[in-house]
Amino acid sequence: MSPDASYERASDAIRVGDVFEWAQPHVDLVGDAVGLDRVIRWPLPSDLLDPSPYLRGGELVLTSGISILEAASQRRFVSAVCAAGATAIGYALGVVTDTVPPALIRAANAEGLAVISVPPDMPFVEIIQRFSIERHRRDGESRERARVGAIVEMVRRAQASAMVLVPELADGEQSRVHIVVSKGAAPRVDGPALRGTSGPYEIAIVPVVDGGSDEVPVSDSDVPFGWSGPVELGRAATAIREAFAGAALADRTGRPAGPRDLATVEGLARRLTPEQAAPFAQHVIDPLRDYDTRHRTRLMHTVEVACRREGAIAQTADELFVHENTLRKRAARIETLTGLNPLRGADRAAFVIALLADAG
């Protein structure tokens, strides 16, 4: 695991490539465009030949080159900071040399580290200050998205009316919205949007502009997403559940998923609120788990396989490595406990809903 594994998935992380987009202070990439997606935890100036005792991983190491005059020392420096988990190297021009030493560039690029040239008139403190400002800005945006996400979660779980979203929208008079949800990265949406985060999910509530298209306003189709809309704000709770269900489906298939894609038993299960799903857990899942625990049986596993095999007795028995008669006996025991038989079509639909609701 890389040293920055604990924070590299943060959506508000500052990456090496972001530094080159800053207007001030302006720095340049030298050498190959490698490691641009690596996360910078903090810039750290050091002119030690081996600064590794002071690194914790994820640093942009800034050096003037005073201690690395020869090619051998430059390679040793790169090896030390790389072993300590540094993210990139910044080299100050005009202190020792007017260009970044080629040996330093080659050694860093070979290790997947980008090399940044810092102009002679730019103190390292300017980079540190800009990083601190950017970090503070992104942290603020992250807290705001979490706040909005908490409100959306309350609406999704039927703990609040969808009308609580009205004051959150830039234009409180908007009556229709698109709901877009993705797992992980957020897709780019057209126009202003109310954004939130909930666990691994990114949420965008996009107002429908009068006279605008009713098509889902996403311009980045590389990110799988779930969507619903346009809907009246009063129906946003149902639309939010649909978009979350679509996001879960899109995450597995790699394709966007909307309401039409959710016209399945799975789509139904993922639109249930916790209160609606509770009876399935209480009357279907819990009795099987309790029985398995007390008798060291595998009735839950039998249900899972039967659902996956759509109740086909021969295929289910083969996957379970049991005789068909044994499978029928298990199904009878399951029916005694739950009132449902996983080998019957109508009952199996209830098992599928219960399993999906239990999985969250």
pLDDT digits (tens, 9 = 90+) for 230-266: 888 888 888 898 899 888 888 878 888 888 877 666 6
Residue ranges, CATH 1.10.10.2840, the chain: 274-359
- pLDDT for 34 equals 96
Residue 305, pLDDT above cutoff 70: yes
Q: In terms of CATH, what superfamily is 274-359?
A: PucR C-terminal helix-turn-helix domain (1.10.10.2840)
Q: What is the mean pLDDT of residues 89-111?
A: 96
Domain 16-122 coded CATH 3.90.400.10? no
Q: Give Cβ neighbours of residue 100 (< 8 Å, ≥ 6 apart).
A: 30, 31, 91, 93, 115, 117
pLDDT mean over 339-353:
88
Mean per-residue pLDDT, 73-93? 97
Distance separating alpha carbons of residues 251 and 256, to the nearest angstrom:
8
173 pLDDT higher than 70? no
Instruction: Answer yes or no: pTM beyond 0.75.
Output: no
pLDDT higher for 219 or 76? 76
Task: Please report which confidence band the pLDDT of residue 211 belongs to, taking 50, 70 and 90 as the band edges.
Answer: low
| Over residues 52-66, mean pLDDT | 96
Closest CA to 165 of 180, 182, 177: 177
Query: Which pLDDT belongs to residue 245?
Result: 85
User: Tokens for 321?
Assistant: 């490595």
Give dist(CA 280, CA 355) in Å, integer.
8
Q: For the chain, report the end-to-end CA distance as a whole number of angstroms.
A: 28
Sheet holding 201-207, edge to edge: 194-198, 201-207, 176-183, 226-232
| Parts of the chain belonging to CATH 3.40.1390.20 | 16-122
What is the arithmetic mean of pLDDT over 174-192? Answer: 84
Q: Is 275 a residue whose pLDDT tops 90?
A: no
* pLDDT grade for 9, boundaries at 50, 70 and 90: very low
